[in-house]
Amino acid sequence: MTADATTVAARARNVLMDTYQRQPITLRRGHGVWVTTDDGRELLDLVAGIAVNILGHNHPALRQAIAEQAATLMHTSNLYYTEPQLELAERLIASAFPSRVFFCNSGAEANEGAIKLARKWGKLHRDGAHVIVCAQGAFHGRTMGALAATANPRYRKPFEPLPKGFVHVPFDDLGALEQAIDSATCAVMLEPIEGESGVIPLEPGRLAAIRRLCDERNVLLILDEVQTGMGRTGRWWAHQHEDAAPDVMTVAKALGGGVPIGAILAAPRADVFEPGDHGSTFGGGPLACAAAVAVMRTVESEGLVDHAADVGDYLDESLSALAGAGAPVAGVRGRGLLLGVALTHDVARDVAAAALNEGVIVNAIGDRTLRLVPPLIITRDEVDLAVERLSRAFDSVAVPAGDA
């Protein structure tokens, strides 16, 4: 750590709660896929605010939309209509499936709302069924309901007792899911690709089979597309790779391109909220909605969904090739620009630290996975540069001798 970084860390310790393990850098500005540190270093950003900055940093269309909306009308509450909120809902529905939208501010909040929808649907349409079947490895956020749906004991334990009515089955195990659904079940809740637990995809065809199972057993399917959505996997929504439209979908992260906003989409069957059931002071405010409209328009006008598929394949191939070149890479998982590099040894944090020194930001998940979720605007040349830097980072990390 540099002297400056040590000073910043000491200042932070005095005033910021100790909830994050931060890298020893202070970021000052960004442009495209690049960010600049306080001491002037330029870094390629393959984390993008954890799958948020899909247009990169400082995109002119987003900047302009925010500036114009800030100068027009910033906040109104939901006691009135605003044009940006209506346009955003229309665009989301057109990109996804016939539905209506509730706006909120984050992924956890979107999942809280989805859980409430499922509970109310169970009361109205399934004889009071209230249990939600979730997946092991799932991450749905840090609020109490979202945490109850999240599997990882590390996140749950300190805060128990959590709300009841959640069970967890192995991800990608259709038999276990079939068994877990009973008369008390109102919904199945999943990420199409588990992000936080290491970029774990479902088997091809599995999501469509889960959709059919939910229909057969008359329970709702809730898909958490907070990380997988907005074009990242090479379709607007990851479930669109299969015939698997959910009854309820949650969205956040990339929707505002860096401005906080979340959303719940509910198909007519699941659209059971009535006035007074749910609400949010800031949810769907004109500033955040104008930003999100600009993001969706730009993704469309710049062809970024197809680009994510194409450049994602290229990044996947380039990373896979590192394995043959001696790097401790066991394989690459994921789809489009949501990729997890599985390592042969427990060196993920060392590699992420070395990568930072080489000028590229990647995210270590656990001991053996690197997560790469770059802006969708990343070019092949930038991929080449990032992989070159990552390769040097791998070279500089001591891998223990012998078997993993």
- Which residues sit at the interface with ligand PLP, rule CB under 6 A? 50, 106-108, 111, 139-141, 191, 195-196, 224, 226-227, 252
Q: In the bound complex, what is the minimum distance in angstroms from residue 197's beta carbon to ligand PLP?
A: 10
Q: Supply the minimum distance, in Å, between the C-beta of residue 111 and ligand PLP.
A: 6
Alpha carbon distance 57, 30 (integer Å):
5
Element (H, E) at 193: strand 193-194
Residue 109 C-beta: closest distance to ligand PLP, Å:
7
H/E stretch holding 114 reads: helix 107-125
User: Of 194 and 316, which has the nearer Cβ to ligand PLP?
Assistant: 194
- Measured CA to CA, the distance from residue 148 to residue 143 in angstroms comes to 8
| CB closer to ligand PLP, 199 vs 327 | 199
Active-site residue among 45, 224, 316, 350?
A: 224
Considering the complex, state which of residue 114 and residue 378 has its C-beta at the smaller distance from ligand PLP. Answer: 114
Buried/exposed code over 238-250 (b: 16+ C-beta within 10 A; e: otherwise) = bbbbbebbbbbbb
In the residue annotation, 215 being an active-site residue is answered as: no
Q: In angstroms, what is the minimal distance from the CB of 23 to ligand PLP? A: 17
**Which residue, 52 or 329, is less far from ligand PLP as judged by CB?**
52
Q: What is the 3-state secondary structure (H, E, C) of 250-287?
A: EECHHHHECECCEEEEECHHHCCCCCCCCCCCCCCCHH
Helices (H) and strands (E) in the chain, counts: 13, 17
Q: How far is CA 284 from CA 82, 93, 117, 289, 367, in A?
A: 9, 15, 18, 6, 38
- Would you call 224 a catalytic residue per the annotation? yes
Active site residue 282: no
Largest CA distance in the chain: 65
| Helix-strand-coil split of the chain, %, nearest 5 | 40, 20, 40
User: Closest residue to ligand PLP, Cβ-based?
Assistant: 107
Choose, from 103, 139, 166, 171, the residue flagged as catalytic: 139
**How far, rounded to the nearest angstrom, does the alpha carbon of residue 316 sit from its chain's CA centroid?**
19
Nearer to ligand PLP, 69 or 106 (CB): 106
Q: Please report how many Cα atoms fall inside a 13 Å half-sphere around the Cα of residue 199, on the Cβ side.
A: 27
Q: Least CB distance from residue 381 to ligand PLP, whole Å?
A: 29
Active site residues: 139, 224, 253
